[in-house]
Amino acid sequence: MPSMIDRSRNAVIREDSVDFPGAQAPDRSYRVDAAGVGIAVHEWGDRHAPPLLAIHGGFDFARTLDVFAPLVAAGGWRVVSWDHRNHGDSELVAMHGFAADLRDAAWVLKSLTDGAVPVLGHSKGGALSLRLADSWPHRVSHLINIDGMPARRKMPDVSDTERTKLLSTELEGWLDHHRRASTGQRKSDTLEGLARRRAKMNPRLTHEWLCYLVTVGARHDPDGWRWKIDPMMRMGGFGPWRPDWAIEGLAGLAMPFLGIVGDQSEPMGWEAGEEELRPFVPRHARLETVAGTGHFVHIEEPDKVAALVLEFLGRPPSGAAQTRAAS
């Protein structure tokens, strides 16, 4: 099957919207109340099909799945994703961070079913999926992680005193950034200009796809387009997180585990390949490398990744009555 890069040659760019081959808007969109925070949830597939929870990465949106999710839904699943708080159409709140995102994930899962469901996460969403599975293992039937698996990195060989100074400098930098950004807003641009800016973070993704992403992940204000992301956020700005925290529980996960990575380096990638990951994942884990792809494996090769996911999950369960269909 053709890759997204092949299909993008036929994309049509207009001033206010973009048509991208294979992209489908969600079949349903609604909000979940996560302890007072409105979370925008999107679904692809039959409303009565068993759910598969999909967690997007940082600085992304549920609708980055507009090509990939329909392929999985065609296999009999109801793909459920949501915009993380301070992303997309979810509520903008003062408190954001990794722990808050994990609680939001639990609220979305609770809104779907009291049973266990497959969970898929990409990048930051992959890290969230690991914590969700470690904290709530009875609610995760299968775990699929797309380039969100941490490998152990060597820390600088410095004294404990110097480490404390480095941490202090890092925290001061974050606080300074928050002070500067607290009253600001993102710069406006044209649709194509915003796509070109995004290409600095996603250099492997086509201009046509990035233009499409603008139409589903940005808003069109009177003076131009702006990403629907809290301006106080920056790369890595989702609260305290260290690879060791995820590694500690990773090897002990008991549910079926599929890890998917690319083999090409890029700015947002986690730079962890099969060989580097093998010592830290569960012994029963299945690791797959999709050759010729980078961090956004499921966007570069949605057909291949969807096929891997559907083969891994097998036939959807028939106990859909245990889940709550979206209204």
Per-residue confidence band for 152, with pLDDT thresholds at 50, 70 and 90: low
Residue 249 has pLDDT above 60, yes or no: yes
More confident residue, 61 or 8: 61
Per-residue confidence band for 108, with pLDDT thresholds at 50, 70 and 90: very high
pTM of the model: 0.85
Q: Tell me the percentage of the chain whose pLDDT exceeds 70.
A: 78
Dump pLDDT digits (tens) for 7-54. 333 344 445 567 899 999 999 999 999 999 999 999 999 999 999 999
* Mean pLDDT value across the chain: 85
Which range of 4-18, 67-81, 219-233, 267-281 scores highest in mean pLDDT? It is 67-81
Per-residue confidence band for 80, with pLDDT thresholds at 50, 70 and 90: very high
Dump pLDDT digits (tens) for 191-241. 999 999 999 989 999 999 999 999 999 999 999 999 998 877 755 545 555
More confident residue, 144 or 97: 144
**Mean per-residue pLDDT for 323-327?**
65
- Domain residue limits, the chain: 4-322
Q: Looking at residue 2, what is its pLDDT? A: 32
- What is the CATH T-level fold of the domain 4-322, as seen in this structure? Rossmann fold (3.40.50)
Q: Looking at residue 186, what is its pLDDT? A: 64
Per-residue confidence band for 3, with pLDDT thresholds at 50, 70 and 90: very low
Q: Looking at residue 99, what is its pLDDT? A: 87
Cβ burial 140-173 (10 Å sphere, 16+ → b, else e): bbbbbbbbbbbbeeeeeeeeeeeeeeeeeeeeee
